[in-house]
Amino acid sequence: MNELGLFPLGLVLLPTELVPLHIFEERYKDLIGECLDDDSEFGLVYSDDAGIREIGTRARVAEVLTRFEDGRMNILVEGGERFRLLELTSGKSFQTGDITPIEDVDDSADASTVEQARALFDRLRELTSSEIEVPDADIPQLSYVLAARVELAAEAKLELLAETSEKARLERVCELLEEAAVAVERQRRAAERAAANGKVELG
């Protein structure tokens, strides 16, 4: 267990995911400034009207994109290890908390699920004309690598953060990729019909 500076936000950061942040509040200027000075990490935790969730992700500043004269910053952060928030603490200008790491159990995904996930990601990549490459099959925690490259709802990402079985997690990612591909195909067909006759056929 150790103490970590926390950044509660209305987004979920997955391991390996890269997310841009605009830092403008004084307390978070302090937090990010401390991380840059000490080359340390902070904890990004999802927060909404229901409060701060107990599972978060360690984050490091991968790049400072812009520094403004008033101390504001545009930064790019990368998700690292997951943690469980045990207790909120105080004493600094920003929120802190006692945390403990979350470790995966020894439950690797089978080869068929790995290939299914990569194929589904490739299908979605082609549907959206994305230039993102399909990750290699032997990448550790492939589930997170794939999920981090797709727009997913916060609740789905929280579910993936909490799951400690790579096998179960990758199976869930397959479901999410399939749902995303179906949604894109549905939108494309609707757009094509609308362009053809000015109307969208129902049913």
Domain residues for 13? 2-101
* DSSP letter, residue 110: P
Q: Both 97 and 115 in a single domain?
A: no
Confidence of residue 15 (pLDDT cuts 50, 70, 90): very high
Of residues 54 and 199, more confidently modeled: 54
Please list the residues that pair with 152 across neighbouring strands: none
Confidence of residue 196 (pLDDT cuts 50, 70, 90): low
Residue 187 pLDDT > 70, yes or no? yes
Write the CATH number for 77: 2.30.130.40
Count Cβ neighbours within 10 Å for each residue of 109-128 and write b for 16 or more, e otherwise.
beeebbebbbebbebbbebe
Asked whether residue 150 is domain-assigned, the answer is yes
Question: Tokens 């099959």 appear where?
Answer: 137
* pLDDT > 90: percent of the chain: 85
Q: Both 57 and 20 in a single domain?
A: yes
Read off the pLDDT of residues 72-126 as tens digits, 9 standing for 90 and up. 999 999 999 999 999 999 999 999 999 999 999 999 999 999 999 999 999 999 9
Q: What distance in Å separates the CA atoms of residue 66 and residue 76, rounded to the nearest whole number?
A: 10
**Residue 28: Cβ within 10 Å count:** 22
Asked whether residue 203 is domain-assigned, the answer is no
Q: Both 128 and 157 in a single domain?
A: yes
Asked whether residue 202 is domain-assigned, the answer is no
Q: Both 10 and 29 in a single domain?
A: yes
Asked whether residue 126 is domain-assigned, the answer is yes
pLDDT score at 79: 97
